Chains A and B, each alone.
Chain A
Amino acid sequence: MSITTPNGFNLDNSGRRVVVDPVTRIEGHLRIEVNVDEDNVIRNAVSTGTIWRGLELILRGRDPRDAWAFVQRICGVCTGTHALTSVRAVEDALGIDIPENANSIRNIMQLCLYVHDHIVHFYHLHALDWVDVVSALNADPRATSALAQSISSWPLSSPGYFRDLQTRLRKFVESGQLGPFKNGYWGHPAYKLPPEANLMAVAHYLEALDFQKDLVKIHAVYGGKNPHPNWLVGGVPCAINLDGTGAVGAVNMERLNLVSSIIDRTIAFTEQVYLPDLIAIGGFYKDWLHGGGLSSKNLLSYGDIPDRANDYSPANLMLPRGAIIDGKLTEIQDVDLTDPEQVQEFVGHSWYKYADESKGLHPWEGVTEPHYQLGPKAVGTKTDIKAVDEGAKYSWLKAPRWRGHAMEVGPLARYVIGYAQGNPEFKEPVDKLLRALDLPLEALFSTLGRTAARGLECEWAAQKMRYFQDKLIANLKAGDLHTANVGKWEPSTWARDVKGVGFTEAPRGALGHWIHIQNTKIANYQCVVPTTWNGSPRDLQGNIGAFEASLLDTPMHDPQQPLEILRTIHSFDPCLACSTHVMSPDGETTIVTVR
């Protein structure tokens, strides 16, 4: 049957059904079902989160000052971002201001996480959708060196370097343990890079892996330890003593200089490795501009990185805040997370129950009551679903909506909103990249555009780390050493019944935590996470979510090898652990069933 959704997409579910499960390379479980027509073009797409979680079940009754430590454990990838969002929610509820130094340090930690997450995503989770590792074995190291030197001044680029690397890779592949590379569809015709570009990308895969160890030192300096750095309601948990000596205790000048030097290396890596790779790889894929979906229509960003402490107004946020509806780039709408009419979650097609499912609930009123049942057209059983029925309930993700609209969130949303606002920090790099690839602005609304925005944002974040590090040091040298406000630490100072909202832009998109504190304990806690926005199921009006929209009209070379689906879904950097429980637990490789 062919229909047009209210948000303007044509769906036809009459063709063959292809099921891809699971789709993510990292934590979490996501299943995609599509219908393809006789030419293997995707005409219907269904996104199912196969895991559920209700945070209120672990946080109710707990001390709000500990909530960050719990939410940090939801997911292995967004740890720090969840922690930051949580302390902001509690501070909002209790009316706590944080010192300027704490704001700078939190921003540095959040930006560091951006850089870390974007680099790991591009090189370790997503690059394999574009880079054929096995093809790299056929590369000529000399030609690889020439290619690398033609695009960047990065010093690791000699023929000998690539030859050694190729030898290591060959040994690894021949040993039969493809390890991190075992999930690839090597040799798939949708791979477009010549062997030399593949070898260069594999080299940078390894360099990026190694570079992580520097990045996490920043979290160790300011968070006291790593993994799982410490956070604090009211500020940051690190004391500062500029004149301190030795290796233990407060952050001293030596530690600050260590962070500064890592920031310098981060800027060099993003400018000399990540961005040139992006342009080089993008150049081979500029004819593959599928995957735009909702990005040319509805985009949402909460904004983040407050320049001055405690001012969360759009003018003070360095990452843009706003919503774009129906592709109207000239009308950026204001976003208010406390307005009950704006962010709402619906469950008409989700495995949850509301008293009245025609209405959405604002997160402060949020309810998470599981209700698992398959629709009449589903194939299979509750414990072994062959195909879901998207006409009924079909996902463990709720359907978040902004003023009733399905929205895309993430780096591309932030960049398009920043671009539309005319902010040169976002507009100029985008224009430069498009010129380098000789592509029009519309090309942004694609899988490649999403991947490109992430790369540009990584460089932006590295530069902003430098900004806040300089700002921090200047403030410390001026004599302000405050890092925490403990004026309202004692629960006896708190109001009896308060609500708050904390927000960040997680690397993968808008993240909000809504908290209700009663009698000094958590009464309700709801998170609306980026992958719930992007992976959203349909709503009762029939609006499809961002993942679903992004897959439509994409031609597949071979539905048995769904590289095109993986490439587009991975471009969102999905993280389903946030939204999560195992229903179909077997199989770590992608299972494709064609029927």
Chain B
Amino acid sequence: MDNQLDITPERDEDFDILVLGIGNLLWADEGFGIRVVEEMHRRYRFPDPVRLMDGGTQGLYLVQYVKACRRLLVFDAIDYGEPPGTMKLVRDEEVPRFMGVKKMSLHQTGFQEVISAAELLGWEPEAMALIGVQAEELEDWGGSLRKGTKARIPQAIEEGLKVLAEWGVQAQEREEPPATGLLRFDLDIAGYEAGRTAILESL
């Protein structure tokens, strides 16, 4: 039983650290955050207080998970007007502000609101961090990450592990990938990209 994934009925609020990928998998680089968490889970095992989550574009529906954690690490595609592929780490009160600076995608206002709604409910996080990458392409409906964006995944994971280490958590490298990934049903990056190639060839 892989206990790091999502929220199951048995394990809905018993975590300390939430590692959350947000965005829409179907909009090219918008899927960056989720793809990072997917790969992180494929390569590493984490101790029990850590929960990895594919938050998708759930917006306000994520508030209870955010509220349940003490430390929040978010991965997302961001627009800070930098060259595509630029990565940036922001922390604590910078996080919500950062996500509201320039909204380019459908879910970001949503997530800024999630943080303030959680705070309105009394959430007082000990720490927050956002690792974002400057997206290159968001206009390709059904497409996957652009090459340059995809190439940032290992670096984003490394940054994320450093943050987690600061928070006292050591990831353990897996010997082989887990039987069940974060994403299934052909939404995993390999299945998603293979299907896309087939579609484009059929057109």
Contacts and interface: CB of A to CB of B under 8 A. Distances in A.
B5 interface: yes
Contacts of B56: 73, 76, 79, 227-228
A225 B199 contact: no
Interface in B54-74: 54-64, 67-68
A179 B113 contact: yes
Interface stretch (B83-91, B153-161, B179-187): B179-187
Given A75-B57, A224-B8, A213 B64 contact: yes
B61 A53 contact: no
A210 B187 contact: no
B6 interface: yes
A76 B120 contact: no
B9 interface: yes
A155 interface: no
Contacts of B186: 62-63, 66, 69-70
Nearest to A29: B106
Given A73-B56, A168-B120, A179-B113, A212 B63 contact: yes
A591 to B, nearest CB: 13
A70 B64 contact: no
Contacts of B1: 248
B184 A577 contact: no
Interface stretch (A100-108, A466-474, A546-554, A581-589): A581-589
* Residue of A179, A212, A247, A248 contacting most chain B CB atoms (<10 Å): A179
B120 A206 contact: yes
Contacts of A116: 61
A42 B187 CA distance: 46
Nearest to A259: B9
B107 interface: yes
Given A27-B59, A58-B199, A76-B58, A220 B8 contact: yes
Contacts of B68: 213
B9 A212 contact: no
Given A70-B26, A228-B54, A581 B139 contact: yes
Nearest to B119: A179
Nearest to A72: B56
A486 B197 CA distance: 30
Interface string A220-240: 110011111000000000000
B142 interface: yes
A120 interface: yes
Interface in B116-147: 116-117, 119-122, 138-139, 141-142
Nearest to A214: B64
Given A61-B202, A180-B117, A217-B9, A69 B139 contact: no
Contacts of A247: 10
Given A180-B117, A225-B5, A577-B106, A70 B187 contact: yes
B60 A124 contact: yes
A172 B116 CA distance: 9
Given A53-B141, A227-B53, A588-B100, A66 B9 contact: no
Nearest to A585: B104
B58 A227 contact: yes
Nearest to A120: B60
B26 A58 contact: yes
A227 B59 CA distance: 11
A172 B124 CA distance: 13
B110 A220 contact: no
What is the predominant secondary structure among interface residues of chain B facing chain A?
mixed
A427 interface: no
A339 B110 CA distance: 39
Interface string B1-40: 1000111111011000000000011100000000000000
A28 B106 contact: yes
Nearest to B109: A588
Interface in A166-195: 168, 172, 177, 179-180
Given A57-B141, A120-B60, A179-B117, A66 B185 contact: yes
B141 A58 contact: yes
A402 to B, nearest CB: 27
B190 interface: no
A58 to B, nearest CB: 4
A223 to B, nearest CB: 10
B174 interface: no
Interface in A110-141: 116, 120, 124
B102 interface: yes
A54 B54 contact: no
Nearest to A75: B57
A335 interface: no
Contacts of B12: 213, 217, 220
B120 A172 contact: yes
A498 interface: no
Contacts of A329: none
A213 B13 CA distance: 10
B57 A577 contact: yes
Contacts of A227: 6-7, 53-56, 58, 61-62
* Residue of B1, B106, B122 contacting most chain A CB atoms (<10 Å): B106
A120 B58 CA distance: 12
A213 B58 CA distance: 13
B148 interface: no
Contact of B121 (A209, A248, A577): A209
Q: 10 tightest CB-CB pairs across the interface, nearest first?
A: A179-B116, A76-B57, A58-B142, A213-B64, A69-B185, A247-B10, A225-B6, A66-B185, A220-B9, A588-B103
Interface of A: 26-29, 52-54, 57-58, 60-63, 65-66, 68-70, 73-77, 79, 116, 120, 124, 168, 172, 177, 179-180, 206, 209-210, 212-213, 216-217, 220-221, 224-228, 247-248, 255, 258, 577, 580-582, 585-588
Given A27-B59, A120-B61, A227-B54, 10 more contacts: A57-B199, A66-B185, A66-B187, A77-B61, A168-B120, A168-B122, A180-B120, A220-B9, A224-B8, A582-B104
Interface of B: 1, 5-10, 12-13, 24-26, 53-64, 67-68, 96, 100, 102-107, 109-110, 112-113, 115-117, 119-122, 138-139, 141-142, 184-187, 195-196, 198-199, 202
10 contacts: A26-B110, A27-B57, A58-B26, A69-B184, A76-B57, A124-B117, A179-B120, A209-B63, A213-B12, A227-B58
